[in-house]
Amino acid sequence: MLNTNRANAAPASADHQPVWEHDHDIELLRGMLANAAPLVSPEDIDALRHTLRDAPQDSLVLQLGDCVEDLSEATTESTKRKTEAISTLGTALRHRPGGILLLGRIAGQYAKPRSTPYETVDGETFMSFRGPIVHDVRRGSRHRAGNAHRIATCHLASQITARTVASYDAAPFLTGRIWTSHEALLLDYEIPMVRESEGAHYATSTAWPWIGNRTRAIASPHIDFAEHVANPISVKVGPDLTPQDLVQLAKKMNPANDPGRLTFIARYGRSRISELVPLVRASAAEGISARWLTDPMHGNTFTNHQGMKTRLIDDIVAEAVGFSKILRAEGVPVGGIHLETTPEPVQECVWHRNEEIDPARYTTGCDPRLTTPQAQQVLERWELA
Ligand code: PEP
Ligand code: MN
């Protein structure tokens, strides 16, 4: 249960949490967050949950945005560019009869899980980049110490961004607004932002949090956190999750089997997407109510000849199409798609495997993102298949 009695501290057993430089600072920040205004109100969270509960079977969720947000983009102008791009991409799916629900990886996507906790450069060892909510992206122990005050900066950035996102009016065939989402990873941020309203607890850092593929173990503090909040919740699922564990996870997170509460986001990679079959089958056989999204990004990352992390458009399309074929064959609705995107003219994902990337146009803080034209192409080819 949420440990409000221990100053909202992240449980020591939580994975992918940073080491903070000063214990006193993180305690201070947790205390302030516990008194801060919610970024999303419990009423709005309920409204989103009801929208999802009542959504037609052929409705689609379009979840788009940065792998990690850049603090320098927490401005009204930059956020407007992002919301306009999300809405433009929504129009690529406008013929969808069940409607489109737009969701940004935005207004709080500031923490990252990493495969290696430390990096060593020139004999100096320091924390891997865990996002701007923990430290600076620059290399070196001076920059990479865990600075709790960054939580306050990211909270302010999220407030600016969330306000701009909320003021955006989407086209009428879209659901009218763009909802916020991010990975609920940094528990020293997420737990103190929980608020109680009419007997229920709400994660007020975002409308629709997700639990990442690396922190979704059944007994993990992240799943425990998600279980005890009333928001709609997504869980990323990848090749190491068994059908039994998926079913167990669904029963734990959504014991009443409420429609709209739980979403699975499958991220297998083009070559392994067929491994999703037994999970979809087990979930359908158990009568589990869950929306299924495809994330065709995170299983398709490779290092190119320049040593840069990238993704091939054809791989992304192939996984998304493969996902839809599996769901249709199992008689389960395709619930949407989750992509990493930016409105900026970057060159991070590639059209051809040997494409030369211009380092000046590779600006992501973590994973390679699709540009709007690239994402448009992915959505069109996915929708046509
Ligand atoms: C992400 O969405 O940026 C991410 C880390 O994904 P996953 O949990 O699927 O690896
Ligand atoms: Mn990512």
Tens-place pLDDT, residues 21-67: 999 999 999 999 999 999 999 999 999 999 999 999 999 999 999 99
Q: Residues enclosing ligand 1, CB less than 6 A?
A: 67, 113, 183, 212-214, 236, 267, 295, 298, 367
- Rounded Cα distance between 186 and 313, Å, is 31
Q: How far is the CA of 286 from the centre of ligand 2 (A)?
A: 31
Domain carrying residue 322:
41-110+156-384
Mean pLDDT of 294-306: 98
Domain-located, residue 340: yes
Q: What's the confidence (pLDDT) of residue 97?
A: 86
At 5, the pLDDT band (50, 70, 90 cuts) reads: very low
In the 3-class helix/strand/coil scheme, how is the chain assigned residue by residue? CCCHHHCCCCCCCCCCCCCECCHHHHHHHHHHHCCCCCCCCHHHHHHHHHHHHHCCCCCEEEEEECCCCCHHHCCHHHHHHHHHHHHHHHHCCCCCCCCEEEEEEECCCCCCCCCCCEEEECCEEEECCCCCCCCCCCCCHHHHCECCHHHHHHHHHHHHHHHHHHCCCCCCCEEEEEEEECECCCHHHHHHHEEEECCEEEECCCCCCEECCCCCCCCCHHHHHHHCCCCCEEEEECCCCCHHHHHHHHHHHCCCCCCCCEEEEECCCCCCHHHHHHHHHHHHHCCCCCEEEECCCCCCEEECCCCCEEEEHHHHHHHHHHHHHHHHHCCCCCCEEEEEECCCCCCCCECCCCCCCCHHHCCCCCCCCECHHHHHHHHHHHHHC
Domain-located, residue 142: no
Query: Which whole-number Å values give the CA distances from 317 to 63, 96, 138, 142, 376, in the listed order?
Result: 16, 18, 33, 41, 11
Q: How far is the CA of 78 from the centre of ligand 2 (A)?
A: 20
pLDDT tens, 159-171?
A: 999 999 998 876 6
- Rounded Cα distance between 235 and 340, Å, is 16
Mean pLDDT of 306-312: 98
| pTM of the predicted structure, to 2 decimals | 0.97
Mean pLDDT of 166-181: 79
Q: How far is the CA of 213 from the centre of ligand 2 (A)?
A: 11
Mean pLDDT of 7-19: 90
Domain-located, residue 65: yes
Q: What's the confidence (pLDDT) of residue 172?
A: 62
Q: What is the largest CA-CA distance in the chain?
A: 58
At 89, the pLDDT band (50, 70, 90 cuts) reads: very high
Instruction: Report the mean per-residue pLDDT for the chain.
Output: 95
Is pLDDT at 281 greater than 90 in this prediction? yes
Instruction: Starting from the CA of residue 349, give the closest ligand.
Output: 2
- Contact call for residues 188 and 155 (beta carbons, < 8 A): no
Q: Which CATH number characterizes residue 365's domain?
A: 3.20.20.70
- Rounded Cα distance between 193 and 33, Å, is 6
Q: How far is the CA of 238 from the centre of ligand 2 (A)?
A: 14
Domain-located, residue 246: yes
Residue 67 CA: which ligand 1 atom is closest? 3
Is pLDDT at 101 greater than 60 in this prediction? yes
Return the residue whose CA atom lies nearest to atom 1 of ligand 1: 67
At 268, the pLDDT band (50, 70, 90 cuts) reads: very high
Percent of the chain with pLDDT over 70: 97
Q: What's the confidence (pLDDT) of residue 4?
A: 44
Mean pLDDT of 10-22: 94
At 237, the pLDDT band (50, 70, 90 cuts) reads: very high
Q: How many structural domains compose the chain?
A: 1
Return the residue whose CA atom lies nearest to atom 3 of ligand 1: 67
At 3, the pLDDT band (50, 70, 90 cuts) reads: very low
Is pLDDT at 239 greater than 80 in this prediction? yes
Q: How far is the CA of 213 from the centre of ligand 1 (A)?
A: 6
Instruction: Starting from the CA of residue 115, give the closest ligand.
Output: 1
Sign of CA dihedral 228, 151, 132, 104: positive
In this structure, which amino acid lies at residue 255? P
Q: What's the confidence (pLDDT) of residue 7?
A: 63
Q: What's the confidence (pLDDT) of residue 175?
A: 66
Domain-located, residue 258: yes
Residue 236 CA: which ligand 1 atom is closest? 9
At 176, the pLDDT band (50, 70, 90 cuts) reads: confident
Q: What's the confidence (pLDDT) of residue 171?
A: 63
Domain-located, residue 117: no
Domain-located, residue 6: no
How many CA atoms within 13 Å lie on the side-chain side of 120? 1
Domain-located, residue 350: yes
